[in-house]
Amino acid sequence: MKRYFIHTFGCQMNVNDSLRMSEALAQIAYAPTPTPDNADLIILNTCAIREKAEDKMLSALGRYRPVKVSRGALIGVGGCVAQQEKDRLLKKVPYVDFVFGPDNIGKLPEIITRVSQERERVVETAFVDSEEYVFPRADPETSRGKVTEFVTVMKGCDNVCSFCVVPHTRGREVSRAFPDVLTEVADLARVGLREVTLIGQNVNSYRGGISFAQLLLRTAEVPGIERVRFTTSHPHDLSDELIDAFRTQPKIAPHFHLPVQCGSDRILKMMRRDYTVVQYLERLEKLRAARPGIAVTTDIIVGFPGETEEDFEMTMQLTEQVRYESQFSFIFSPRPKTGAALREKDWGSVPHEVKIARLERLQKVQRKICGEIAVSQVGLEVEVLVEGHSKYDAGKRFGRSPENRTVNFDGDAPAGAIVKVLVDRATPNHLMGKQLAVVQAPTVAPPASEALPPGLVPPGRFPLVEA
């Protein structure tokens, strides 16, 4: 049996795509390996949202080249950089054997066969027409023994923000029919999944036969599912109906990732974000009124072309005002074919050292807020969905609160159980405590590890993921 290694960069969509790649490779008798050193096939599932992610990909390719030389391993590049660069990537990196875009994951067995048997370098990056696109569906057996899983409900984005390359790498919005989504969720619940995260580039613009709010409510009604999450969202699609869903259905987890991008209305307009800061805050206020205590996270770009010190201070003020649970903040990097890249000289490029200094100031404030929120949880009892052993201490258990806070605790509850934990310590990144009681036992026992071939695991169990 040949072995494969997948290195995943970027968002939850890419993580989910890597799982689907694993299932496709299982069809042609490939099994996963935890390290690239003994792999016969190495795939980099790439992200193009930032220049840094591309640089990481090229660096990783360089590290994997010796495996190709010593073992004759095949090397492929998938994901958004593959979609963006197409055959140019084969010219740039001559030891890459194949390139494929997100719409072509289902063709992976065919691509591997062509590369292996016909000794040709392959590029498959054509978008599939919306009417013909078939969403890859998870094999529930590859998720058996897990507690939480991603379920794709849509792909692509129609917003065309001036900084974002996603419409060029993922295409236009395509929604998955809601019966198909619910069937997949039910199949996952039958093998023991307790939590699902509905994912897409802009999930709350979902149009798969019902509204996104209705999809969330129906997902929460699937027997065995105790928590429903979703990501990611655009503020202009935060509807009253979606807010009401948070009010009426407690299984919808009290966590909302709502990217604001900037605290300056002037910059938001240049970003092609069709809301003002006041409108954003008004929607957020309604959400927090509907679900008190909801954890709100966001994305922020620092150093967008034309950003002045005054613009940046507005972002700092917004961060202090909202008190985000966490931020994914990064400096602006021009992406190919985007409006901001084409007009950066006209708008005024922000010097790199200024970008870095501003980012450090912003992240310092956010770390302080994260620490204060974490400390406020000390002494409280929190409900934790157990996912397994703590990666920090094998003697402890690990899980997440409904707000998506990571919790490491002393206890013996099995994966899939929901427990009460008394928080006795906290850091800005996670909570620590002691198990008090099991609220719910797992619905399905995980498979015995000894039933697996030595050194092997079900597809997707050795993810190497980088932001």
| DSSP conformation class of 443 | S
Which residue carries 């807010």 as its tokens? 243
C-alpha radius of gyration, the chain, whole number: 22
The token pair that represents 463 in the structure block: 């993810």
* Cα separation, 88 vs 125, whole angstroms: 12
* Cα separation, 318 vs 323, whole angstroms: 8
Amino acid of residue 310: E
* Cα separation, 323 vs 9, whole angstroms: 28
* Cα separation, 12 vs 18, whole angstroms: 10
Q: At 243, which helix (H) or strand (E)?
A: helix 240-248
CA-to-CA dists, residue 53 to 43, 57, 309, angstroms: 15, 6, 27
- Asked whether residue 262 is marked as a ligand-binding residue, the answer is no
* Cα separation, 333 vs 203, whole angstroms: 25
Which residue carries 């000289």 as its tokens? 345
The token pair that represents 144 in the structure block: 């058996």
End-to-end CA distance of the chain: 31
Best CA proximity match to 135, nearest among 155, 120, 121: 155
- Asked whether residue 157 is marked as a ligand-binding residue, the answer is yes
> Which class for 451: exposed (0-12), middle (13-18), buried (19 or more C-beta within 10 A)?
exposed
- Asked whether residue 47 is marked as a ligand-binding residue, the answer is yes
136-467-293-255 Cα dihedral, nearest 10 degrees: -10
- Asked whether residue 161 is marked as a ligand-binding residue, the answer is yes
* Contact call for residues 101 and 127 (beta carbons, < 8 A): yes
Phi-psi map region of 52: left, alpha, beta (phi>0 left; psi -120 to 50 alpha): alpha
The residues, ordered by sequence, that sit 6+ positions from 269 with a Cβ below 8 Å of its Cβ are none
The residues, ordered by sequence, that sit 6+ positions from 404 with a Cβ below 8 Å of its Cβ are 229, 253, 255, 295, 297, 325
| Residues making up the binding site for [4Fe-4S] cluster | 11, 47, 80, 157, 161, 164
| Residues making up the binding site | 11, 47, 80, 157, 161, 164
